[in-house]
Amino acid sequence: DLLRSESAKLQGKRASLEAVIKEHGFSTESVRKLLRSGQLSGASAPIGVLADFIEVEDKYEGVVDEFLRDELNYLVVKSWEAANEGLRLLGGDVEGRATFLVHPDDSQAKFSFVFDEAARAHLRQDRVIPLKDCIRVPENFGSSLEVILPKLGHGYIVPDAETGRALALENPDAFYLSLSGECFHNVTVTGGKKLAEGPLQMKRDLREVERHMEELGATMAAQEQTTARLAMEIQSLTS
């Protein structure tokens, strides 16, 4: 009974997370309106937001969620015509602002990225990790997302605030994200309490819930077999 109760709670949590992710509850109101309105349809229909396409290593999800909060809400469309149609709606029927990321089917042929070894010579491989190395995108999305998102191309994970502050002063064009949540850029630092869980963490939570449900299902099946065997033994002893 305890296992069934826990399973029911997990099913509820999974349904809640799936609904938030599917309905893009983490996005801005204007982005949600554009996705829900149905006015962008056919070739103009968005294929999602950027957060739908990327995964981040678990231990870095929190800082990446905060650092790329705006970028993760970029509406992904397949053509400039679709982007223009979205902008037309934002200028009329739909209030607010949104950013469109144009991702044609042949996007991999459109992007190129030169790894500037000299520009990254300051990296201490045991302490500083390029942000792009922590992010996974589907193969058909393009191999150089950092070309589109400069913050991603020039972002680095550092172990602590002191390292981030020192490196930001040495490399004013880069962004350094400490695991404690601060972002250092040139002579600026951004920090504070996170307002809400971001889409990357929600997706991770959903994976964790599904994994837990799978393990719980196996445990329940074993317990049910044991219960059935004991019931037969009780019946045999009392008959």
Q: What global pTM score does this model have?
A: 0.60
- Rounded to whole angstroms, the Cα distance separating 216 from 230 reads 21
Average pLDDT of the chain to the nearest whole number:
78
Mean pLDDT for 4-22 is 83
The answer to whether residues 136 and 54 touch, using CB atoms and an 8 Å cutoff, is yes
Secondary structure of residue 166 in the 3-state scheme: helix
The yes-or-no verdict on residue 195 having pLDDT over 60 is no
- The reported pLDDT for the residue numbered 123 is 47
pLDDT of residue 105: 61
Question: 46 versus 109: which is more confidently predicted?
Answer: 46
By percentage, how much of the chain surpasses pLDDT 70? 83
Mean pLDDT, to the nearest integer, of 178-194? 77
Q: Which residues of 200-229 are buried (b: 16+ CB within 10 A; e: fewer)?
A: bbbbbbbeebeeebeeeeeeeeeeeeeeee
With beta carbons less than 8 A apart as the criterion, state whether 72 and 200 touch: yes
Structure tokens at 150: 């400069």
User: Residue 140's pLDDT is what?
Assistant: 64
Look up residue 34 and give its DSSP letter.
H
What is the mean pLDDT of the segment spanning 131-159?
Answer: 78
218 φ/ψ sector (left φ>0, alpha ψ -120 to 50, else beta): alpha
Among 102, 107, 30, CA closest to 70: 30
What's residue 156's pLDDT? 92
